Amino acid sequence: MIELIAVIIILGVLGAVAAPKFIGLKTEAENKAAVQAVSEGKNRLTQQYAITMMNGSAVSNLPDFIAAVSTDAGDYRLIFSVTGSDVNIEATGVQEKGVAGQASGKWRLP
């Protein structure tokens, strides 16, 4: 009986130590996945720029240019906004899917 109680206490201590560490790892992983979603947004903008240039057009209006780029990145939603000649990209986790990561970055016309 004493051995059983000792095992239960040891498992309780291990659980109390491991649970917060696991929660921290989950948050860190979601934020790193959001960074990857921002990179995906940059790739999409670059691809759209290449398509525009191959069609013989020039990018004269950034808001119209970014409107042609998809904002769905799986578990993340991309938000594009224009500041001067920069496009700000923000990746936010889709709450309905239980994802809470966030990251942001910039893309500039080549």
Structural domains of the chain, count: 1
Per-residue pLDDT tens for 30-75? 999 999 999 999 999 999 999 999 988 888 888 888 998 999 999 9
Q: For residue 93, what are the domain limits? A: 2-108
* Residue 97: exposure state from Cβ atoms within 10 A (0-12, 13-18, ≥19): exposed
Q: Which pLDDT does position 24 carry in this prediction? A: 80
Question: Order of strands across the sheet with 86-93?
Answer: 72-73, 76-83, 86-93, 102-108
Given phi > 0 = left and psi -120 to 50 = alpha, else beta, which region is 28? alpha
Mean pLDDT over residues 67-92, rounded? 93
What length is written for the chain? 110
pTM of the entire predicted model: 0.78
